[in-house]
Amino acid sequence: MKTLLIPVDFSATSDNAVNFAIEWAKAYSYTRIILLKTFYDTVFDHIVVSAEYAPVSPHYMAREREEAAHHLENLSREISVKTRGVEIISMVSEAPLLRAIMEVIHEDAPELIVLGSDNYRYSSGSFIAGNLISIAKASPVRVLIVPSTYQYQKVEKILVPVDYKTLDSLDKVRNLQIPPQWKDSKLLVLNVDPKERYLQPDDHLKAAEQHVHDRLQDYPHDICYSNDKNIINGILSFTQRTPVQLIISLPGKHSFLYYLTHKSISDAICRNAQEPVLILK
């Protein structure tokens, strides 16, 4: 079954990711959606932050779980009404978030995980958003990161940032099995080149461009350049000039994902990117 996994924490960011995932599931013919809520407690969850550090009542914790389970049940019904025909499964776990996600991947083989991300202008304090980098790094399946205020749009232009040193990673795009809904969509292959070698391309650059064309010959595509000295700024600035509905992050040491998973700049892209980011594996 074509399955989509959505970890939820009932924050505004999580709710927005759910709404996006509903439209994505309908557009791309998913047959099953799994909602995952973890109730994992750390030792600090049992302590009230006060001068006395009073322990939390077990009755309070039980009531909190009961309310969350009720919320999850209501959310499942709402999604079922909106998707009609898609199987909705609610799962709860006592395991830590990342372990719980990995267990679902092992048992139910979802094709895609949808995560919401906060940004500097709008933050819901989502626990899942705070852990999306570790989830994206550990997941063996594709991850779709949805900005907290982004609403679903039909995918017409897809940005694919590439490093010419790792062009073999373009095979991941070719092996993605582009859905029929993207047959008229255009891939915009972006190379950030602060030295502006593209203005007077040498044989190496021409060979790299030909490699791109060969790899993506079955898809409408253009090669674009940015002369920004910072790869992240180059990507973000490009999306401000050229509207896209999706950014595809290729794997590899020199890829966009490589930068995405470095904490020092991961916030920059996760909090400022205005478009969903699809991380390939």
Let me know the angle formed at the C-alpha of 111 by 110 and 112, rounded to the nearest 5 degrees: 95
Residues contacting residue 278 through CB under 8 Å, at least 6 positions apart = 142, 143, 144, 145, 246, 247, 248, 249
- The answer to whether 3-147 and 157-275 have equal CATH topology is yes
Distance between CA atoms of residues 25 and 252, nearest Å: 28
Strands 112-117 and 3-7: parallel
The pLDDT value recorded for residue 28 is 93
Work out the angle between the directed axes of helices 58-83 and 12-27 (0-180°, nearest 10): 30
**Domain residue ranges of the chain, discontinuous segments joined by +:** 3-147, 157-275
Tokens 């209501």: give the residue: 74
CATH architecture for residues 3-147 = 3-Layer(aba) Sandwich (3.40)
What's the token pair of residue 187? 């891939």
pTM: 0.87
The pLDDT value recorded for residue 62 is 78
Closest listed residue to residue 110, CA positions, set 232, 200, 263, 7: 7
CATH 1.10.3470 fits 157-275, yes or no: no
Distance between CA atoms of residues 255 and 278, nearest Å: 13
The pLDDT value recorded for residue 124 is 63
Distance between CA atoms of residues 248 and 241, nearest Å: 17
Cα end-to-end span (Å), the chain:
20
The pLDDT value recorded for residue 126 is 86
Helix (H) or strand (E) holding 172: helix 171-174
121 within 8 A of 13, measured Cβ to Cβ: no
The pLDDT value recorded for residue 217 is 86
What's the token pair of residue 186? 């255009």
The CA-atom distances, in angstroms, between 174 and each of 45, 141, 164 are 46, 16, 16
The CA-atom distances, in angstroms, between 172 and each of 42, 187, 263 are 38, 13, 24
The pLDDT value recorded for residue 123 is 60
The pLDDT value recorded for residue 66 is 86
Ordered per-residue pLDDT tens for the chain, 281 residues: 899 999 999 999 999 999 999 999 999 999 999 999 998 755 455 454 444 555 556 676 778 788 888 999 999 999 999 999 999 999 999 899 999 999 999 999 999 999 998 865 556 678 898 888 888 888 999 999 999 889 999 999 999 988 887 776 677 776 666 677 887 899 999 998 888 989 999 998 898 899 889 888 888 999 999 999 887 788 888 999 999 999 988 765 545 555 555 544 445 555 567 899 998 88
91 within 8 A of 68, measured Cβ to Cβ: no
What's the token pair of residue 41? 């407690």
Q: What is the 3-state secondary structure (H, E, C) of 47-80?
A: ECCCCCCCECCHHHHHHHHHHHHHHHHHHHHHHH
